[in-house]
Amino acid sequence: MRVLMFGWEFPPHISGGLGTACYGLTKGLSNNGVEVLFVMPSASGDEDASAVSIINASDVEVSESHRDVREFLEKVEFIRVGSNMIPYVGPESFSEMVEHQQTGQIEEFRHSHGQKFRFSGKYGNDLMEEVARYALVAAEIALREEFDIIHAHDWLTYMAGVAAKKLSGKPLVVHMHATEFDRSGNNINTEVYDLERRGMKEADAVIAVSHLTRNIVINKYGIDPSKVITVHNAVDFQGFSNLVIERGVPEKVVTFLGRITYQKGPEYFIEAANKVLAKYPDVRFVMAGNGDLLNRSIRRVAKLGISHKFHFTGFLRGKEVKEMFAYSDVYVMPSVSEPFGISPLEAMRANVPTIISKQSGVAEVLKHAIKVDFWDIDAMADAIYGLLNYPALSASAVKNGLEEVNSLKWDGAAAQVKDIYSGLL
């Protein structure tokens, strides 16, 4: 079985859980005998291609095979927009949507035939334009390659999947890692919502990373429940064992690791930290990540007078993440809305007792993580204090958590995905 898979990022170049999930799933599929052609906008050449064949969309020349550009664009129904769209932050980061005339778009694409598109592969000012061009390149790749099924990850690649389906006639699976409601609450960006809904409507199957996400897909997007299947994420165990680190501080360490955005609940973490420090001063709090709420979070920490006990590391990747878990005595994921959440699995695999919000998909599969409502800073503070102050509680959480997370492997998740492929074929 050969899969043409579209993604936006792949380790080591990632901004969040999407790239990590793509990496784990493709390795799992390879172990299940599935060959994956992984298309990404801009490959650097240092991606781990041991389990996949990487196709760099920036190296694909759009040929004259698409002579009727108007017909192609009408099929995929693109409207190019000018936008400062970043897919993992709140609505305050979206600039005003500016529509361009479709005739101009058609003319621009017509002149682009016979040349390559240069993709940044980032989440910057021209994101929507890149999404549209990525779909045009996807159509070209679909005409060149041999494959049995198409798999598109997240809204950024849904139109690429749709274009490949329309030109090849092969079944399309789309993977919903995070909905626009997760990223923006009820103040959704309608352009992103429309792309998500269109991709799922055109798909032959929709994979949701949790039952929580599946319910959103069905109830808020109107997708047929019979084609929405939950496949929980897993964790890649490689490199988590036998990591030796030297701690530079004597205090215990409580860690938040993720995008510092509304969705991830960093402000609740800060308020809980303030309450813990009032009872247990021998602790330091670390906020590892970056995002649109970083400056506001720094100001709040300073206003509370706890900056001498609080550290902001910036974005961490690869080995840095593993080292941060090795430093940590408690890990907290206070997400307001989390479709799944791989980081708690990584923390538990690194022998770190973990606290997660009840509003997360990973809460569906973990029994030995402490669960609190994201808004309940008193309960969050109590849980942190308990794990810091009672060694027996912490040891029990570590032992049971490690046994539990060891059963959540990507090979198992990939086997479920392969069954979905087989059902469509």
Q: Is 227 left (phi over 0), alpha (psi -120 to 50) or beta?
A: alpha
Q: How far apart are CA 210 and CA 342, in angstroms?
A: 12
Copy the structure tokens of residue 199: 């991709």
pLDDT at 91: 39
- Asked if 160 contacts 39 with a C-beta cutoff of 8 angstroms, the reply is yes
DSSP element (H, E) containing 104: helix 102-112
Q: Give the three-class secondary structure for 4.
A: strand
Which residues pair with residue 36 across a beta bridge?
A: 3
pLDDT reported for residue 106: 42
Give the whole-angstrom CA distance, residue 14 versus residue 259: 12
Name the CATH superfamily for 2-234+410-424. Answer: Glycogen Phosphorylase B; (3.40.50.2000)
- Give dist(CA 48, CA 54) in Å, integer: 9
Identity of the residue numbered 302: A
pLDDT computed for residue 215 by the predictor = 96
How many CA atoms within 13 Å lie on the side-chain side of 332? 31
DSSP state of 96: P
The class of domain 252-405 in CATH terms is alpha beta
pTM across the whole model = 0.81
Q: Give the pLDDT score at 47.
A: 84
Cα–Cα distance, 198 to 227 (Å, whole number) = 14
For residue 327, give both structure tokens.
Answer: 């430093």
Residues 6 and 157: beta-carbon distance below 8 Å: yes
Q: Bridge partners of 330?
A: 254
Distance separating alpha carbons of residues 294 and 366, to the nearest angstrom: 29
Q: What is the largest CA-CA distance in the chain?
A: 70
Q: What is the pLDDT along the chain (425 residues), one digit of tens a residue?
A: 999 999 988 887 776 678 888 999 999 999 999 999 999 988 888 888 888 999 988 888 776 444 444 455 555 554 333 333 344 433 333 333 333 333 444 444 444 555 666 665 555 556 777 788 888 888 889 988 999 999 999 898 999 999 899 889 999 999 999 999 988 877 888 888 999 999 999 999 999 999 999 999 999 999 999 999 999 998 876 655 566 778 888 899 999 999 899 889 999 999 999 999 999 999 999 999 999 999 999 999 999 999 999 999 999 887 888 899 999 999 999 999 889 988 898 899 889 999 999 999 999 999 889 999 999 999 999 999 999 999 999 999 999 988 888 888 899 999 999 999 999 99
- The CB density around residue 45, as the number of other CB atoms within 10 Å, is 7
Position 76 scores a pLDDT of 52
- Among 337, 336, 397, 338, which Cα is nearest to 370's? 397
Q: Tell me the two tokens of residue 397.
A: 């959480």
Determine contact, residues 316/257, Cβ cutoff 8 Å.
yes
Rounded Cα distance between 168 and 149, Å, is 10
- Secondary structure (3-state) at 283: strand
| 42 closest CA partner among 120, 129, 140 | 120
Residues 6+ apart with CB under 8 A from 66: 72, 113, 136, 139, 140
Segment 31-77, tens digit of pLDDT: 999 999 999 988 888 888 888 999 988 888 776 444 444 455 555 55
The count of residues in the chain is: 425
**Domain range summary for the chain, segments of one domain joined by +:** 2-234+410-424, 252-405
- Provide the strand spans (E) within 210-353: 228-230, 252-257, 283-288, 310-314, 330-333
Q: What pLDDT, on the 0 to 100 scale, is given for residue 186?
A: 78
pLDDT for position 11: 82
Query: Pick from 361, 368, 319: which is nearest to 342 by CA?
Result: 361
Distances (CA, A) of 350 to 59, 66, 79, 306, 316: 39, 51, 45, 27, 16
Task: Enter the tokens of residue 298.
Answer: 């720094």
Of 381, 364, 291, 374, the closest CA to residue 330 belongs to 381
Buried b (16+ CB within 10 A) or exposed e, 175-203: bbbbbbbbbbeeebbebbbebbbbbbbbb
What does the pLDDT look like over 397-414, one tens digit per residue? Answer: 999 988 888 888 899 999
How much is the CA Rg of the chain, to the nearest whole Å? 22
